[in-house]
Amino acid sequence: MICFAHEKTVASMVRANVQRIHEIGRVEKLRTAIPIFYVLEVGGGLNERAVRRKSVVPEGILSHPFQAVFKGLSH
């Protein structure tokens, strides 16, 4: 019973956070071989071609810190 309650609580918290994120900006899945990345675009972080797409490729991200982290994780 405790495990079930914990699972439902965590799921509820995640749903609330996802709704809040969608209010702040655009959330898109990053198209890579590593299926864990999502991009939260709040303005100015994507190049013009990436903004017009429904999903984002790593080359479309302008953030140098993100590019460095992604490069390290995908090496």
**Average pLDDT value for residue range 8-29:** 70
pLDDT top residue among 43 and 68: 68
Q: How would residue 12 be classed by pLDDT, with cut points 50, 70 and 90?
A: confident
The total number of structural domains that make up the chain = 1
Domain span holding position 36: 25-75
Residue 61 lies in a domain: yes
% of residues, the chain, pLDDT over 90: 0
pTM of the model: 0.52
Residue 8 lies in a domain: no
Q: What is the pLDDT of residue 43?
A: 75
Q: What is the DSSP string of 14-51?
A: HHHHHHHHHHHSEEEEB-SSSTT-EEEE-SSSB-HHHH
Residue 12 lies in a domain: no
Residue 46 lies in a domain: yes
pLDDT top residue among 23 and 37: 37
Q: Is the predicted pLDDT of residue 57 greater than 80, yes or no?
A: yes
